[in-house]
Chain A
Amino acid sequence: EPEVTQTPSHQVTQMGQEVILRCVPISNHLYFYWYRQILGQKVEFLVSFYNNEISEKSEIFDDQFSVERPDGSNFTLKIRSTKLEDSAMYFCASSGWGIGNEQFFGPGTRLTVL
């Protein structure tokens, strides 16, 4: 069964450093998403991406964040200058055509900022 994959599973970085989180969505999906979940809190929407551009983004997704689909398979989230409060689990998701289509989530990348 196709699935969303994410790498790395755990990333440790120093405050102020840049990190890139990588995702490989399900191959025939057209919509891509990033979410984050701070430990013990609810999942929060960051951004959705369709047709090589951002479709929607939340207030959390400020200039520190950027997304890219550098090739036909990868979808990345870059955090330019990490802060302690960026420590969280970051989930990538993808869905097929249509707004109501089921979103399939990856296993997540745990980001720890020291």
Chain B
Amino acid sequence: KNQVEQSPQSLIILEGKNCTLQCNYTVSPFSNLRWYKQDTGRGPVSLTIMTFSENTKSNGRYTATLDADTKQSSLHITASQLSDSASYICVVSAGQAGTALIFGKGTTLSVSS
């Protein structure tokens, strides 16, 4: 069964600190892996998309890594800001057409001052 597991479930950090979120997946056939940010009550917003052949991708203060052999990914946030408080969701694209997205439960990040 296609699954995406994330850890930790929640995280509290001080403003300015760095953090790393983890994702493990068992999805077949694998197309690509995405990280999304979701604010409460809003739609997810894409941060990064990585295909099988990519092992790192950055978007500003967000850096995602992918190890397709071990089926693991991480999202590193540097110099956190209060506005980074949100749910960060690991999403794997699956299915023959590659359009079905399998979502993890997300890591809830709280950044405090």
Q: What residues of chain A have their CB less than 8 Å away from a CB belonging to chain B?
A: 4, 31, 33, 35, 41-45, 48, 50, 55-56, 58, 89, 91, 93, 99-100, 102-108
A residues in contact with B97, CB < 8 Å: 48, 50, 55-56, 99
C-alpha gap A104/B45 in the complex (Å): 7
Q: What residues of chain B have their CB less than 8 Å away from a CB belonging to chain A?
A: 31-32, 34, 38, 41-46, 49, 51, 89, 93, 95-106
Q: Is the CB of B106 within 8 A of A100?
A: no
C-alpha gap A45/B95 in the complex (Å): 11
Q: Is the CB of B99 within 8 A of A42?
A: no
B residues in contact with A31, CB < 8 Å: 99
Question: Could you name 18 residue pairs across A and B whose Cβ atoms are closer than 8 Å?
Answer: A4-B43, A42-B104, A42-B106, A44-B103, A56-B99, A58-B100, A89-B41, A91-B43, A99-B93, A99-B97, A100-B31, A100-B51, A100-B93, A102-B34, A102-B49, A105-B44, A107-B43, A108-B41
Q: Is the CB of B102 within 8 A of A45?
A: yes
Interface centre among B44, B49, B105 (most CB of A within 10 A): B44
Q: Given A33-B101, A43-B101, A107-B42, 20 more contacts at CB 8 Å?
A: A41-B105, A42-B105, A42-B106, A43-B38, A48-B99, A56-B95, A58-B100, A91-B43, A91-B44, A93-B43, A99-B31, A99-B98, A99-B99, A100-B31, A100-B32, A100-B93, A102-B49, A103-B101, A106-B43, A107-B43
C-alpha gap A26/B85 in the complex (Å): 27
Q: Is the CB of A43 within 8 A of B44?
A: yes
C-alpha gap A102/B32 in the complex (Å): 11
Evaluate whether A42 and B42 lie within 8 angstroms (CB atoms) in the complex, with A100-B31, A100-B32, A100-B51 already known: no
A residues in contact with B96, CB < 8 Å: 56
B residues in contact with A55, CB < 8 Å: 97, 99
Chain A contact residues, majority secondary structure: strand
